[in-house]
Amino acid sequence: DAGVTQSPTHLIKTRGQQVTLRCSPKSGHDTVSWYQQALGQGPQFIFQYYEEEERQRGNFPDRFSGHQFPNYSSELNVNALLLGDSALYLCASSLGWEGNTEAFFGQGTRLTVV
């Protein structure tokens, strides 16, 4: 049973560019959440998708957007990249969006903006 898979594992982008990160949830899970983790900090919640809709959003600008597909996989898009967007981006999946089931995290995508 595959867990949460994210791609790519590493990415280098130039300031001002756009980036798309991908996540496949654990088998049987229907909810995907995205987190940003800066070096030395805990993960910060970006947003959560359930039934192809954004259900919750953290304190992130509109440059951060997402999508969930009918097969429950998800994408995180970041436009107009800033140096401060350099971080580990984590995807977590769970069953149901109410938070009452365990969340499983992927290995993350390390994004470096130069």
Binding site for another protein (CB under 8 A): 4, 31, 33, 35, 40-45, 48, 55-56, 58, 88, 90-92, 94, 96-108, 110
CB closer to another protein, 66 vs 106 = 106
Helix and strand numbers, DSSP H then E, in the chain: 0, 11
DSSP-derived secondary structure letter, 15 = T
Least distance from another protein to the Cβ atom of residue 10, Å: 10
Q: Which residue has the tokens 């580990």?
A: 88
Least distance from another protein to the Cβ atom of residue 41, Å: 6
CB closer to another protein, 49 vs 78 = 49
Tell me the C-alpha to C-alpha distance, in Å, between residue 50 and each of 40, 70, 97: 29, 10, 6
CB atoms within 10 A of CB 75: 17
CB closer to another protein, 48 vs 74 = 48
